[in-house]
Structure 1
Amino acid sequence: MSITAVPIQPVKRGYVVWLWIGIAAALVIAMALAWKGTAGVVAETGTNAQFLAYNAGQPAVVETDSGLQYQVLEAGKGGATPGDDDLVLVNYSGKLRDGRVFDESRQPTPMSPKSVVPGFAEALKLMPKGAKYRVWMKPDLAYGAEARIDPQTGEEAIPADALLIFDIEMVDFMPEAVVRQMQMQQMMQMQQGQGGAPVQGVPEGAAPPQP
């Protein structure tokens, strides 16, 4: 026997078991991270379906029955949400998968859920006042196979079969009928103040109807 050899102290069996468990766990984590990285690359460069399948598994992303995906950035005040008969006041920014912004509001913009693409309408009707959502719309919920042309430049703003990503802030909403009545009141007040002809059906000098 060599007099220079240093004997290895025996290791308890329990330590060996935990050592192998640790090694196995590290391998599983490494494989998961590698798969996640690969899946992310495939999603970014792959089809819309691949992107949405990957995105649906990301933290806090919710997918509805229609396939709309959204993430709540700010929950808002909770409670009531708008319907088809409401007018909403929103700030928004829309972009493509490559990050190019194709549309954005410069100030709070009024719109009706009945006058926008299905995915945008669905998102609006999920949002209480003060909420901010990020929304992913597959082509079927946006413009489908129809490309959109910028009327100012004549260039293609949204390609055919584009997946759209919107950041939306719900500033306020109220029934469309109430908004129309308020507009009529303002018009009547302006006409009366300028000595214009009375509005048909409203006696001259009469107070405008109250909401």
Structure 2
Amino acid sequence: MRLSVLASAFLSVTAVFAAELGIKTTKEVECKRKTVKGDTVHMHYRGTLASDGSQFDASYDRGTPLTFKLGTGRVIKGWDQGLLDMCIGEKRTLTIPPEYGYGDRGIGPIPGGSTLIFETELVGIDGVSKDEL
């Protein structure tokens, strides 16, 4: 019985680590005003599958950043959390496990259960003046 309790605890801890959101800053920028929940942000991005590196979407290809309200559930959870506290011009790579992405359901070219890699760049925050940068 003791072994099954230990094995169960190990599996629970492993599941917690597996669901961790990875955030790596690839270009640092100093600023006074960073992104906060509720900001309308303008993000350039490139999304690839961790499994094979294939690109499934990129705003860079369209030449237009994606605009959305941060932290309000309008994008996947990995973006709502991973894009907080950014400065305009900052770049991050987000490694998003399924729990913070699309889960077990597939969407378009993204298979269910996929870990996603996003190269992101904050290009603007609505209402933030140059004095606040």
Are 1:104 and 2:58 an aligned pair? Answer: yes
- One-letter code aligned to 1:142: G
Q: How far apart in 2 are the matches of 1:120 and 1:102?
A: 16
Structure (1 or 2) with the greater strand fraction: 2
Q: How far apart in 2 are the matches of 1:71 and 1:172?
A: 20
Long gaps (5+) in structure 2: 1-13, 128-133
Say which SS state the counterpart of residue 78 (structure 1) adopts: coil
The residue number in structure 2 matching 1:158 is 110
Which of 60, 69, 85 aligns to 2:22? It is: 69
Say which SS state the counterpart of residue 93 (structure 1) adopts: strand
Q: CA deviation at 1:87?
A: 0.4
Query: Which has the higher relative contact order, 1 or 2, with Cα contacts under 8 A spaced 6 or more apart?
Result: 2
Structure 1 residues 68, 126: CA separation in 2 closer, same or farther (over 3 Å shift)?
Answer: farther
- One-letter code aligned to 1:160: G
What is the TM-score when the length of structure 2 is the normalising length?
A: 0.72
- One-letter code aligned to 1:158: I
Which of 22, 37, 41 aligns to 1:84? It is: 37
Contact between 1:77 and 1:130, CA under 8 Å: does it hold in 2?
Answer: no
Q: Which stretches of structure 1, 4 residues or longer, exceed 4 Å deviation after superposition? A: none
Q: How many residues align?
A: 106
Structure 1 residues 67, 78: CA separation in 2 closer, same or farther (over 3 Å shift)?
Answer: farther
Structure (1 or 2) with the greater helix fraction: 1
Contact between 2:42 and 2:123, CA under 8 Å: does it hold in 1?
Answer: yes
Greater gyration radius: 1
Contact between 2:98 and 2:114, CA under 8 Å: does it hold in 1?
Answer: yes
Q: How far apart in 1 are the matches of 2:97 and 2:123?
A: 25
Q: What do the CA deviations read for 1:154-192 (whole angstroms, capped 9, x no partner)?
A: xxx1000100000000011135xxxxxxxxxxxxxxxxx
Q: CA deviation at 1:102?
A: 0.7
Q: CA deviation at 1:124?
A: 1.4
Contact between 1:137 and 1:164, CA under 8 Å: does it hold in 2?
Answer: yes
Q: What do the CA deviations read for 1:105-131 (whole angstroms, capped 9, x no partner)?
A: 022221122210110111111321110
Are 1:148 and 2:107 an aligned pair? Answer: yes
Long gaps (5+) in structure 1: 1-48, 54-65, 150-156, 176-211
- One-letter code aligned to 2:55: V
